[in-house]
């Protein structure tokens, strides 16, 4: 398996907020943790509450329970 790749330069998302859909597990949780390490405020949106909300860099993501496929749940 090839080694994990990191961005060529440091990511700085300080002062920004990102929303990660499907951020409760798997790739989405990994993406959420990467944004947290980059200084972003992170909101994860999942259909079901996670066992553990992603955390990294001394920060923890906020969680919103919603199905983004349903327009009534994202308005």
Question: How much is the pTM?
Answer: 0.81
How many Å from the N-terminal Cα to the C-terminal Cα in the chain?
42
Residue 57, pLDDT > 70, answer yes
- Between 46 and 8, the higher pLDDT residue: 46
Residue 69, pLDDT > 90, answer yes
pLDDT tens digits, one per residue of 5-38: 666 667 899 999 999 999 999 999 999 999 999 9
pLDDT bucket at 47, cuts 50 / 70 / 90: very high
Q: Where are the domains of the chain?
A: 19-74
Please choose, from the candidates 59, 69, 67, 75, the residue with its C-alpha nearest in 3D space to the C-alpha of residue 18. Answer: 59
């Amino acid at each position: 398996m090839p080694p994990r790749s990191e961005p060529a330069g440091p990511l700085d998302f300080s002062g920004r907020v990102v929303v990660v859909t499907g951020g409760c597990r798997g790739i989405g949780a990994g993406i959420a943790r990467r944004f947290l390490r980059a200084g972003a405020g992170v909101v994860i949106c999942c259909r079901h509450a996670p066992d553990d909300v992603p955390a990294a860099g001394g920060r923890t993501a906020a969680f919103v329970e919603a199905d983004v496929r349903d327009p009534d749940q994202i308005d």
